[in-house]
Chains A and B, each alone.
Chain A
Amino acid sequence: MIEPKNKPGYTDQSLIRNFCIIAHIDHGKSTVADRILQLSGIVPEREMRDRFLDRMDIEQERGITIKSQAVRVPWTFDGTEYTLGMIDTPGHVDFTYEVSRALAACEGAVLLVDATQGIEAQTLSNLYMAIDHDLTIIPVLNKIDLPSAEPDKHAEEIAGLIGCEPSDVLRVSGKTGEGVAELLDRIVMEVPAPHGDPKAPARALIFDSVYDSYRGIVTYIRMEDGELHAREKVHMMGIGMTHDPIEIGVISPDMMPTKALGAGEVGYIITGAKDVSQSKVGDTLTSAVRPATEPLPGYRDPQPMVYAGLFPIDNAQFPELRDALDKLKLNDAALIYEPETSVALGFGFRCGFLGLLHMEIVCERLDREFGLDLISTAPNVPYDVTAEDGSEHHVTNPSEFPDGKIKKIVEPMVAADIITPKEFIGAVMDLCQDHRGIMGTMEYISSDRVEMHYRIPLAEIVFDFFDQLKSRTKGYASLDYHEDGEQAADLVKVDILIQGDKVDAFSAIVHRDKAYSYGVMMTKKLRELIPRQQFEIPIQAAIGSRIIARENIRALRKDVLAKCYGGDISRKRKLLEKQKAGKKRMKMLGHVEVPQEAFIAALSTGDAGNDRDTKDKIRAAQKTEG
């Protein structure tokens, strides 16, 4: 193992190169990072494990959750030892803001693209973000060892995107190590050194913050100006909290406490913070003794963009759900939740998420890590509603939608970038148009792939857009989106009534044009899902007091065992006992018994009604409106 000469806290900025790797999820980032650690010599050959950075085994052994890393790597070029700060970026669409903070901690970015697949929409959007941050881009094609690699084609594509020569695109193989040393040389040569003020009061950017069950909150920082010393009180300028640091240090490749961190360096700090909301990504950390006056730019609180209700199927699990959410919150400042009571679903939480993926991750963790069986309501976005009387409502739950006349409804918009093979341009245009998208520009990124830009209401994306995009393009299209202001829209709240009673869990805020299809679809679904009972059950969809769709569950006429002789009695009694136990898991809506499964199935998206009956009913409903 090599002992680096450059010591943390005492490394001249001119010898530092901070960079990140921008790559799509399966394009081989971890493998390349592993090779970098190996070549640098900080991980001995025998300890080298595949995908060292992901540390899944360590997570399991020690219960540490490390979602991101900032590793200090020595690299000697031309006889001089340089210190590389390799910063990992969270890889997906909901965490745009976190990605932007990671980029802000770097001067350069390695654009890593799979030579067999070419660039993906999310990578492209992160690339544009890196260019916006004035990062030096080093384009690299990975997996050149694979027989299906098309490096020439994709080098051309990348060159077109970033304005370089195809020959500037490095070719590496994370698997064989080919080209990785050359990549490190390029980083030293091309990525600019940091140029903060080492004499100024300390200012450090928090670019990540994770909860470790042994050490508490570990905060990753990039020093801009000045120095921080161990045991020096620190102040978070954005949230205005002061902490006593327990430890500061660097990761190389394990946590290594140091006496100080100097300008340009990347490291970590452990404070007594209890959860990540006390140490937020984007905030500026300064010395409490000699504080800076101006924070670094760009801090903001992540705003939830998608809301849904989460309810335990077994209401007795409500306290467990609360505990589980509290635990997830330790590591996820963006997750917000508050208790909610639903007539139909009982006690649960209204949760706010950064996006759909974030919601899926949270639900999956609640299921897998905490063993909770949940029903989630259909996701919705926040709306700003102005009633006719002028009162204003921030609606994050359809139940908060004001009754009576509405003057104005404003909904969040996103800018969506879609990369697709050109043969699906028509299909993507149809889909976006169906979802109220306004087309912007469209560029060919290569001879057979285009990038299309749309402005679309977030609510449309949240519903079933991504699944449909994938199915209409045979899985080839990729999507990225980011917030893009808001717009006023003609939206209505559709309620579902069972036997005349509103079922809160099924209410939805939809565009007026979609209200009919939502109403028809839901009423039809529920008619199938709710078992017949002793009386007729009308199921209606309504906008305000106006019924827009109706189905009837006819009264049950026969529920009797034909033969009940000597040999049937025991079996019949046991069957009745079983049915009685089953009834306990039914929800009572008024007099109507609704099985749990009906809620789950009705709230799942997916099989949008394309059958003839559904279409006829939607058309009929729209006609009565016209």
Chain B
Amino acid sequence: MLEVYVHVPFCMRRCGYCDFNTYTAVDLGAGASRGNYANMVVREMELTRQWQLDHGIEEPTADTVFFGGGTPTILSADDLVAMLDAIRRIWGIAPGAEITTEANPDTVNEYYINRLAEGGFTRISFGMQSAVPHVLRTLDRTHTPANVAAGVEAANKAGLRSSVDLIYGAPGESLDDWRTSVRTAIDLGVNHISAYALTVEPTTKMGRQIAAGTLPKPDDDDEAAKYEIADDLFTAAGLEWYEVSNWARPGYESRHNLGYWRNVDWAGLGPGAHSHYNHAAAAETADVEDAPDAFDTAKQVHGLRSWDIAHPRLWGTAINESRVPWGGSETITPGENLEELIMLGLRLREGLDLNRINQAVAEAESNGETAPFRQIDPAELRPMIDDGLIVVDADSHRVVPTRKGRLLNDAVIERFFDLAGI
């Protein structure tokens, strides 16, 4: 199982809440310009594939591809298709693969979307954020609600699945504002909606405004109420939650994103993109800058996570020198893998597979790590069930968070960490 993620670090303007790795300049140097970007990414794909082969990672063909950003659709549709073609050439693309791009409603039209469909894209995810003009202004978004409807319609016509993203909790957004956004999104007829609580990062413009007191701080209770509103309305419209912040008509879930929560392998390309490999051999890499040099062979390593150099110019320089453009990496021990399985699995409707967790516990235990790892007995889950945080399937031993457990997900994770002796 392999997924491919391509990050496109360009935007027309930076939104006040956004702390993603994105830039408004057209040319960032060392070949990392909007016009040449696709060429650079293709070059990185080739370097990455060579690195995989050198480390015995025989990945199968890609099941999913996801273009995210930034604003991938700031590039021409031909550029996106060219990158997809390169993936097909280098890894191969599995039959029925899911190929998604994020889209700013401002930057796509019917022609653009048709071109994507012809090139093999199957899905498009629109950054709608809100249907309420004053909320969109607070979020620095330039599109109008009408742009989104046009985009979705074009996608439908072209045979693409579409999804919309919403953000709740923006300063000044009332509960009714939020209901309006949720209903508008449902009325678009999309089969997939993501709804995210606004997370204020201190380094953003909005973070500074809140610190200075010129914008009110998002309120957890308000966000909890909005989560419940969304969950109720989506469910009533036939969109079921399948991850903390994602709802879909059954069969329309984002397979690519499910891969992250199921902790599969993925190759991330583009400045700042993360990659993840469940391969011990991957961690023995030595030909990469900042890779772990003191690799402890006495201990098992479960896998490797790496991340590309964040700044596009330095990223481009590395590629021009034929280096895999990693900025850093970490080995994942069996214990850390266990932590990640728990924290990711508890976000999902399909739930946390207790058998898989206990296998991971056994792997960590046998590795002689310092924490006294413990197998989790299903009987120990009773207090969390009584607190209304989780339900447990008696046969499959899958643990599924309730709505309360989704809203208090970190607390549930912590209690599982305690149970597993982390």
With A558-B224, A560-B406, A573-B343 already in contact, the answer to whether A566 and B411 are too (CB < 8 A) is no
CB-based contact B343/A560 at 8 Å: no
Taking CB atoms, residues of chain B closer than 8 Å to A573 are 336, 339-340, 343
Q: Type the 1/0 row for B10-46, where 1 means its CB is closer than 8 Å to any CB of A.
A: 0000000000000000000000000000000000000
* Interchain CA distance A561-B344 in the complex, whole Å: 11
Partner of A534 from the list B199, B224, B305, B387 (CB cut-off 8 Å) is B387
Output the least CB separation between A506 and chain B (Å). 26
CB-based contact B260/A563 at 8 Å: no
User: Is the C-beta of B330 less than 8 angstroms from some C-beta in chain A?
Assistant: yes
Partner of A562 from the list B221, B245, B266, B307 (CB cut-off 8 Å) is B245
Taking CB atoms, residues of chain B closer than 8 Å to A566 are 5, 260, 266, 268, 273-274, 276
Partner of B197 from the list A558, A564, A576 (CB cut-off 8 Å) is A558
Output the least CB separation between B4 and chain A (Å). 11
User: Is the C-beta of B257 less than 8 angstroms from some C-beta in chain A?
Assistant: yes
With A570-B274, A577-B339 already in contact, the answer to whether A559 and B330 are too (CB < 8 A) is no
Taking CB atoms, residues of chain A closer than 8 Å to B417 are 576, 580
User: Is the C-beta of B227 less than 8 angstroms from some C-beta in chain A?
Assistant: yes
In the complex formed, the residue of B with least CB distance to A569 is: B340
* Interchain CA distance A15-B198 in the complex, whole Å: 88
User: Is the C-beta of A623 less than 8 angstroms from some C-beta in chain B?
Assistant: no
Output the least CB separation between B217 and chain A (Å). 14
In the complex formed, the residue of A with least CB distance to B308 is: A567
Taking CB atoms, residues of chain B closer than 8 Å to A559 are 220, 407-411
CB-based contact B414/A580 at 8 Å: yes
In the complex formed, the residue of B with least CB distance to A556 is: B408
User: Is the C-beta of B325 less than 8 angstroms from some C-beta in chain A?
Assistant: no
In the complex formed, the residue of A with least CB distance to B273 is: A567
With A558-B221, A558-B224 already in contact, the answer to whether A576 and B245 are too (CB < 8 A) is no
CB-based contact B199/A576 at 8 Å: no
In the complex formed, the residue of A with least CB distance to B409 is: A560
Taking CB atoms, residues of chain A closer than 8 Å to B273 are 566-567
CB-based contact B220/A556 at 8 Å: yes
* Interchain CA distance A566-B344 in the complex, whole Å: 11
Taking CB atoms, residues of chain A closer than 8 Å to B197 are 558, 560, 562
CB-based contact A558/B340 at 8 Å: no
In the complex formed, the residue of B with least CB distance to A560 is: B409
* Interchain CA distance A556-B410 in the complex, whole Å: 12
CB-based contact B409/A534 at 8 Å: no
Output the least CB separation between A316 and chain B (Å). 19
Q: Type the 1/0 row for A567-599, where 1 means its CB is closer than 8 Å to any CB of B.
A: 101101100110110010000000000000000
* Interchain CA distance A388-B276 in the complex, whole Å: 74
* Interchain CA distance A579-B198 in the complex, whole Å: 21
Taking CB atoms, residues of chain A closer than 8 Å to B91 are none
User: Is the C-beta of B9 less than 8 angstroms from some C-beta in chain A?
Assistant: no
Taking CB atoms, residues of chain B closer than 8 Å to A558 are 197, 220-221, 223-224, 227, 407-408
Q: Type the 1/0 row for B336-352, where 1 means its CB is closer than 8 Å to any CB of A.
A: 10011001100100000
Output the least CB separation between B107 and chain A (Å). 21
User: Is the C-beta of A565 less than 8 angstroms from some C-beta in chain B?
Assistant: yes
User: Is the C-beta of A546 less than 8 angstroms from some C-beta in chain B?
Assistant: no
CB-based contact A564/B268 at 8 Å: no
In the complex formed, the residue of B with least CB distance to A535 is: B387
Output the least CB separation between A324 and chain B (Å). 32
* Interchain CA distance A529-B267 in the complex, whole Å: 45
Taking CB atoms, residues of chain B closer than 8 Å to A564 are 244, 260-261, 343-344, 347
CB-based contact B413/A576 at 8 Å: yes
Output the least CB separation between B255 and chain A (Å). 14
User: Is the C-beta of B72 less than 8 angstroms from some C-beta in chain A?
Assistant: no
In the complex formed, the residue of B with least CB distance to A570 is: B305
User: Is the C-beta of B272 less than 8 angstroms from some C-beta in chain A?
Assistant: yes
User: Is the C-beta of B51 less than 8 angstroms from some C-beta in chain A?
Assistant: no
* Interchain CA distance A573-B257 in the complex, whole Å: 18
- Name which of A534, A561, A562 has the most chain B CB atoms within 10 A of its CB: A562
User: Is the C-beta of A5 less than 8 angstroms from some C-beta in chain B?
Assistant: no
How many residues of B are counted as interface, with CB atoms below 8 angstroms from the partner's CB atoms? Answer: 41
* Interchain CA distance A559-B244 in the complex, whole Å: 12
Taking CB atoms, residues of chain B closer than 8 Å to A562 are 196-199, 244-245
CB-based contact A567/B413 at 8 Å: no
With A557-B221, A558-B224, A579-B414 already in contact, the answer to whether A567 and B272 are too (CB < 8 A) is yes
Partner of A557 from the list B199, B220, B344, B413 (CB cut-off 8 Å) is B220
* Interchain CA distance A569-B305 in the complex, whole Å: 10
Taking CB atoms, residues of chain B closer than 8 Å to A556 are 220, 408, 411
Taking CB atoms, residues of chain A closer than 8 Å to B244 are 560, 562, 564
CB-based contact A563/B245 at 8 Å: yes
* Interchain CA distance A583-B411 in the complex, whole Å: 12
Q: Type the 1/0 row for B161-199, where 1 means its CB is closer than 8 Å to any CB of A.
A: 000000000000000000000000000000000001111
Taking CB atoms, residues of chain A closer than 8 Å to B5 are 566
Taking CB atoms, residues of chain B closer than 8 Å to A534 are 387, 408, 411
* Interchain CA distance A289-B146 in the complex, whole Å: 110
Output the least CB separation between A583 and chain B (Å). 8
CB-based contact A569/B344 at 8 Å: yes
Taking CB atoms, residues of chain A closer than 8 Å to B344 are 564, 569
Q: Type the 1/0 row for B196-225, where 1 means its CB is closer than 8 Å to any CB of A.
A: 111100000000000000000000110110
In the complex formed, the residue of A with least CB distance to B3 is: A566
CB-based contact B414/A563 at 8 Å: no
With A569-B274, A570-B274 already in contact, the answer to whether A576 and B330 are too (CB < 8 A) is no
Output the least CB separation between B222 and chain A (Å). 9
Taking CB atoms, residues of chain A closer than 8 Å to B408 are 534, 556-560
Output the least CB separation between A275 and chain B (Å). 45
Taking CB atoms, residues of chain A closer than 8 Å to B339 are 573, 576-577
* Interchain CA distance A556-B196 in the complex, whole Å: 19
Q: Type the 1/0 row for B111-155, where 1 means its CB is closer than 8 Å to any CB of A.
A: 000000000000000000000000000000000000000000000
* Interchain CA distance A556-B219 in the complex, whole Å: 11
Taking CB atoms, residues of chain B closer than 8 Å to A567 are 268, 272-274, 307
* Interchain CA distance A534-B336 in the complex, whole Å: 26
Partner of B343 from the list A565, A576, A583 (CB cut-off 8 Å) is A576
Taking CB atoms, residues of chain B closer than 8 Å to A560 are 197, 244, 406-410
Taking CB atoms, residues of chain B closer than 8 Å to A583 are 414
Output the least CB separation between A355 and chain B (Å). 43
Taking CB atoms, residues of chain A closer than 8 Å to B305 are 569-570
* Interchain CA distance A579-B336 in the complex, whole Å: 15
Taking CB atoms, residues of chain A closer than 8 Å to B266 are 566
Output the least CB separation between A532 and chain B (Å). 8
In the complex formed, the residue of A with least CB distance to B405 is: A560
Output the least CB separation between B348 and chain A (Å). 11
* Interchain CA distance A554-B406 in the complex, whole Å: 18
* Interchain CA distance A573-B335 in the complex, whole Å: 11
* Interchain CA distance A576-B409 in the complex, whole Å: 11
CB-based contact A576/B410 at 8 Å: yes
A526-567 contacts to B, CB under 8 A, are 534, 554, 556-567
* Interchain CA distance A65-B244 in the complex, whole Å: 65
Output the least CB separation between B67 and chain A (Å). 13
Output the least CB separation between A564 and chain B (Å). 6
- Name which of A559, A566, A570 has the most chain B CB atoms within 10 A of its CB: A566
Output the least CB separation between B2 and chain A (Å). 13
* Interchain CA distance A566-B223 in the complex, whole Å: 24
Output the least CB separation between B271 and chain A (Å). 11
B363-422 contacts to A, CB under 8 A, are 387, 406-411, 413-414, 417, 422
In the complex formed, the residue of A with least CB distance to B21 is: A567
Pairs of residues from A and B, 4 with the lowest C-beta to C-beta distance, nearest first: A557-B224, A560-B409, A558-B224, A562-B196
Of the A-B pairs whose beta carbons lie under 8 Å apart in the complex, a sample of 15, sorted by A's number, is A557-B220, A559-B220, A560-B244, A564-B261, A564-B347, A566-B5, A566-B260, A569-B305, A569-B343, A569-B344, A570-B274, A570-B307, A576-B410, A577-B339, A580-B422
| Given A573-B343, A576-B343, 19 other A-B residues pairs in contact with their CB atoms under 8 A | A556-B408, A557-B224, A557-B407, A558-B220, A558-B221, A558-B223, A558-B407, A559-B411, A560-B406, A560-B407, A562-B196, A564-B343, A566-B5, A566-B266, A569-B260, A569-B305, A570-B274, A570-B307, A573-B339
